[in-house]
A and B are shown apart, each in its own frame.
Chain A
């Protein structure tokens, strides 16, 4: 806790820029590089441009904007998957990205084994991850399948298991990228309830979605990004109205 302002904020960005170095010739092989002595050329793409942002503890901030505006980049910076090229980021507490964990799942392992590996991937200790397994299995509602290999699961069961693991972490900051449409209507209601519990416990939310009307209902404030810069930041209803108006001039 460097200063008083940072203590009250869950997330604070000061002049954060992210520059992507995109290779012009992604297919350049090692053979070519050595044999023809070619070097790789890059174009630089400014995905976030000196962004200042403070999100208070317990606040829900929605992020909207066109494709390529920097929404996902901002989430990845806060989830610390991506380091800012310049500027300063401060995050207080445990950050959990609510992503689909399918990439971490292995078809030959049982649901229980997969949930354990995925738990450690999200930063849980071994004992902590094991302790959560009964609750995860109950929430995913996969019954006796929990001890069957994942390849025997229906796609809905896999998604439910993934969501259950992702939300089993006691996070202070939840980073959510378009991941709210999981499973059937009944499971969707359970998901909403689970996210509501986080809110009651004072967790901070950062949500990206193209469903701006949904975001207006979920968030207190909305950040409208345009080419890596804030076009508007304010109360959800105001910003969404201006955004929709700009789409239908």
Chain B
């Protein structure tokens, strides 16, 4: 994107597309930063509460869900709000990021036809925006743990590792959904429906212990069950996930990000051809 003075760009010397995009994204890092700051600003610009809203909004969702479900799950998940909140935050980060990326990519296509920009930048900016919002929401989470007098300790050090893995996974899924949205106008709507089902198939609202053993084994095939559970554990049980779980979470996240990266970059260049 940025051409340092007088270097010649040669179409015959292009590296393979997924590798070229790495360089493009690096040179476009200012754009990613500007987009993230724009997204954060725009979301709260009209609200008098400003950024405080990004703390109150998830806290409100957590309170409502706690009122509804505390009673139901009190036996299987004591101190239900402390069970619910960390997993809910991770799920909302995943669902909101992946759900809005496709719409954002579709909205940015007109610009792609006219300005050369790293095609992965809008998707990355959306995921990072979600991460910033999750960061704000850690304040009410901390307050909740204090109020409920939950013990927390060194196990919390595992949370950023899980979050990094979940971010890679979210970025990968975002790119895969975007690649589908490039070809099919209804892909983002269908994905929205899928997300609804996916949430109920993931132990966000309910503890996994209420499931019959057969369904519990099936959870092994749901990556979000892995991330939600691993992220919740340090906050709720004051225990870090074991090393194998962390390694699996990281491996799955990186593999998904790589798959999304390759599929998306190979299709993104076709966009301007569609007149």
Contact = CB atoms under 8 A, between A and B. Distances in A.
Given A88-B10, A88-B11, A23 B186 contact: no
B272 A82 contact: yes
A94 B187 CA distance: 36
Given A80-B9, A104-B111, A21 B270 contact: yes
Given A81-B114, A90-B10, A91-B9, A29 B31 contact: no
Contacts of A172: 3, 5-6
A76 B272 contact: yes
B68 interface: no
A18 to B, nearest CB: 8
Interface residues of A, number: 52
B135 interface: no
Given A30-B190, A88-B12, A108-B42, A81 B112 contact: yes
A214 B201 CA distance: 64
Given A30-B180, A91-B9, A23 B274 contact: yes
A196 interface: no
Interface in A81-95: 81-84, 87-95
A22 B272 CA distance: 11
B200 interface: no
Given A21-B270, A117-B34, A123-B28, 14 more contacts: A26-B274, A29-B184, A29-B186, A40-B183, A79-B116, A80-B116, A82-B272, A82-B273, A95-B3, A108-B41, A116-B34, A117-B38, A125-B30, A126-B33
Interface of B: 1-3, 5-12, 14, 27-28, 30-31, 33-35, 38, 41-42, 45-46, 108, 110-117, 180, 183-187, 190, 269-270, 272-275
25 contacts: A2-B10, A29-B185, A29-B186, A30-B183, A76-B113, A79-B114, A79-B116, A80-B116, A81-B272, A82-B273, A83-B269, A87-B11, A91-B8, A94-B5, A103-B108, A106-B42, A108-B46, A109-B45, A113-B38, A121-B31, A121-B115, A123-B27, A123-B28, A172-B3, A172-B6
